[in-house]
Amino acid sequence: NRRIVLAQRPIGSPTAADFRLEEVPLPELADGQVLLRTLYLSIDPYMRARMSDAPSYAQPVAIDAVMVGATVCRVEASRSSSLAVGDVVLSMNGWQDYAAVSTKGLMKIDASLAPPSYSLGVLGMTGFTAYVGLLDIGQAKEGDTVLVSAATGAVGGTVGQIAKLKGCRAVGIAGGDDKCEYAVNTLGYDACINHYDEDFAEQLAAACPNGVDVYFENVGGNPLMAAIPLLNVGARVALCGIIAWLNGPAPGPIDTAPQIMRALLNKRASVQGFVITDHYATRHADFRRDMSQWVKEGKIHYREDVIEGLERAPFALMGLLRGDNFGKVVVRVEKT
C-alpha cells in the first residue's frame, strides 16, 4: 500500500524533492466503512496551491500528509450496507493505493455511460467548471464571441464545445500547433491561436474581428495581455484560473496592472472570479443532466492524458504546471 506525502513546501515550481513515496500497512476497516482501491487519480492545478500555506479558500496539505486529490476507486471490502464489493465510486482519497473511508460523500459511478475516469473530468469537476464558468459566470449567449485560454485542456476543451453548442463563435488560445489543430478540427473551435507564436497578439486580433464578448480565463500571462485589448464594451471575464502564475508572480519589473485596469474601465467589463465548489448545491443537477446527454450523443469530445503509475504522480503534476499535458491529466494507479 503506497502513498505519496508532501515532504516540504515548494519554492517556485515543485520538484521531486517536495514529495515522498511511502509504504504503509493496509488500513483496518471500521463499521460503516469501505476499503477502496484507487484506480485513477486526478491531477489538477489546484494541487499546487494546496502545497503552499499562503492564504487561500482551501486548507493547505500538512507536511507529511497524503497529497490531496479526487480518485476513482473500486470497493475491495465493505462493512456498509450501501456499497458492495466491486462497486466503482468517486472519492477524494488523494495520492494513495488504498483508503478506508465512510460511505458518506462517495458517489457511485455508472460505468454504462462512459469510462469511469471521465468522472474526474468531463463528467466531473472540470466539466462542471466549464459549464458554470461559461453559462453562469460568463453569461454566454448565441452570437457572442467566446475566447478561451488553455483551449484544449480539461476545462478549456469543454468550454469551447459548450460555446459552440450554444451558438457562439469560439476562439481558442493554446500552446502549440498540434493543440490548435486539435482545437479546430476535433473540438470545433472556429479558430485557435498558438500563444508561442511571435505575432500571437496580432493573429488573435485577426481571429476576433468582432471583438470578444466573453473571455474564459484559465491562464493569465501572455494570453491575458493579448485578450484584454479585444474585449467589447460590456464584456464578461470569467476568471477561472491563473495557472501561469501558480508557482509565483512572473519575474521582472513590468507592472501591467494600469494597462489592464484602464482597459476594463473603458470597456465597462465585468470580471468575476469563481470557485466551483460554491456551485454544487444549485447547479450540479443541471450539469449532470446536460453533460450526460451531450456525452451520450457524442456532442462533446474528451481527451485524457494518462500517466501510468502512482509513483509518477509528482511528474504528472510538474508537467501540468509547465503546460506539457494534452488533455485532462489522470494517473492510472492500478496497473492492468
Q: Which is nearer to ligand NDP, 9 or 303 (CB)?
A: 303
* Residues 269-294: b if buried by 16+ CB within 10 A, e if exposed: beeeebebeebeeebeeebeebbeeb
Q: What are phi and psi of 111, to 5 degrees?
A: -75, -5
Tell me the DSSP string of 257-291.
HHHHHHHHHHTT-EEEE--GGGGHHHHHHHHHHHH
The residue (of 16 and 85) whose beta carbon lies closer to ligand NDP is 16
Angle value at C-alpha 114, between 76 and 100, nearest 5 degrees: 20
**Among residues 96 and 325, whose Cβ is nearest to ligand NDP?**
325
Cβ proximity to ligand NDP: between 19 and 128 the closer is 128
- Cβ proximity to ligand NDP: between 1 and 56 the closer is 56
Amino acid identity at 293: Q
Maximal C-alpha separation, the chain: 63
Interface residue list for ligand NDP (CB under 6 A): 44-46, 126, 129, 150, 152-156, 174-176, 179, 195, 218-219, 221, 240-241, 243-244, 274-276, 320-323, 325, 328
Q: How far is CA 85 from CA 72, 188, 243, 307, in A?
A: 14, 41, 39, 26
Q: How far apart are CA 145 and CA 148, in angstroms?
A: 10
Which C-beta is closer to ligand NDP: that of 171 or that of 243?
243
CB-wise, 310 or 317, nearer to ligand NDP? 317
User: Least distance from C-beta 334 to ligand NDP, angstroms?
Assistant: 22
- The CB-of-83 to ligand NDP minimum distance in angstroms stands at 27
Tell the smallest beta-carbon distance from residue 288 to ligand NDP (Å): 17
Q: At closest approach, how far in Å is the CB of 324 from ligand NDP? A: 7
Residues 298-314 as b/e (b if ≥16 CB within 10 A, e otherwise) read eebbbbbbebeebebbb
Q: How far is the CB of 277 from ligand NDP (least distance, A)?
A: 7
Q: Smallest gap, in angstroms, from Cβ of residue 28 to ligand NDP?
A: 34
- Of 80 and 139, the one with the shorter C-beta distance to ligand NDP is 139
**Is residue 306 a contact partner of residue 321, using CB atoms and an 8 Å limit?**
no
| CA 76 to chain CA mean position, Å | 29
CA neighbor of 256 nearest in space, from 217, 232, 222, 231? 222
Least distance (Å) between residue 209 CB and ligand NDP = 23
| Residue of 318, 315, 146 whose CA lies nearest to 240 | 146
CB 279 to ligand NDP: min, Å: 8
* Angle at 194 (CA atoms; ends 136, 324), nearest 5 degrees: 85
Q: How far is the CB of 150 from ligand NDP (least distance, A)?
A: 4
Say how far apart CA 228 and CA 223 lie, in whole Å.
9
Would you say 254 or 265 has its CB closer to ligand NDP?
A: 254
